[in-house]
Amino acid sequence: MSTYPQRVADNILPLSVAGTLPEAFKEWYFTGETEDHEQAIEECELCDQEQLRYHFKIANRHTHKHLWIGSHCILKFKVAVYENDQLLDENKTKKKLDALIKQMRYESCMNALRRLVEEENNDILGNALDFYQKNKYLTPKFAFVIFWRLKSHRIDHSPSFFKISLKRDKYKRDLREMDTSRVHLIWPALTSSQRKLAISMGHSAPS
């Protein structure tokens, strides 16, 4: 079985001009292109890691070859990432990649909501779609209805990708008054601090 460094070398050196990994990686850059495969079914074409959902395209400025890889490899091997033609440092690179993943998750949520509205066009779901598109978060009440109907229609979605806001007193009150079974349905979308708040309100964590 080949070692991790050997797999990386076997995948990138034939597509590069340089003959060593450190020099070869200087030829590569992130193109800005991403792809959400909707399920964790792909692998990194650089390190062969499996079960990737998100792909990031890197290209070689000399050979014009490209690879679809995971964001971890961009950071690990310091692949060049640019913003307005400016080379980003490691911290800004991580922020950019995180922002791209966040955007892909948002688009995944929007796609699920659009499919839901196509399946069951009513005012509540239409309003929830408009609300999420405008604010990029759901209220507890909207979240319950959305997750309930998505599940009923068997529309593929990732509840943890949705954001729920509890910043307003009304949203906190709605969560407090919500039946615990409904809180359990939106639980995957709650942050750790929001879950603690729900428990302090008398709700239990899902078993």
The DSSP result for 103-161, as a single string, is HHHHHHHHHHHHHHHHHS--HHHHHHHHHHHHHSSB-HHHHHHHHHHHHHTT----GGG
Phi/psi-derived region of residue 23, left when phi > 0, alpha when psi is between -120 and 50, beta in every other case: alpha
The pLDDT tens digits of the residues spanning 63-97 come to 999 999 999 999 999 999 999 999 999 999 999 99
d(CA 126, CA 107): 17
CA–CA separation, 7 and 14 (whole Å)? 12
Burial of 29 (0-12, 13-18, 19+ CB in 10 A): middle
pTM of the entire predicted model: 0.85
Coil, strand or helix: which one is 36? Answer: strand
Q: Token pair of 125, please? A: 């779901």
112-134 per-position pLDDT tens digit: 999 999 999 899 999 999 999 99
Q: How far apart, in whole angstroms, are the C-alpha atoms of residue 148 and residue 204? A: 19
Output the six-digit token pair for 117.
Answer: 């509205």
Q: How high does pLDDT run on average in the chain?
A: 95
Residue whose entry in the numeric block shows the structure tokens 């995971």: 70
Beta bridge partners of 54: 36
Q: What is the pLDDT of residue 1?
A: 56
Q: What is the mean pLDDT of residues 182-197?
A: 97
pLDDT mean over 20-43:
95
Per-residue model confidence (pLDDT) at position 4: 86
Span 140-159, pLDDT tens digits: 999 999 999 999 999 999 99
Instruction: Compute the average pLDDT of residues 13-33.
Output: 96
Mean pLDDT for 44-60 is 96
In the predicted structure, residue 14 carries a pLDDT above the cut 60: yes
Percent of the chain with pLDDT strictly greater than 90: 95
The two tokens of residue 51 are 């079960």
Place of tokens 């239990």: 204
Q: What is the DSSP string of 45-112?
A: TTT----BSEEEEEEETTT--EEEE-HHHHHHTT-B-EETTEEP-HHHHHHHHHHHHHHHHHHHHHHH
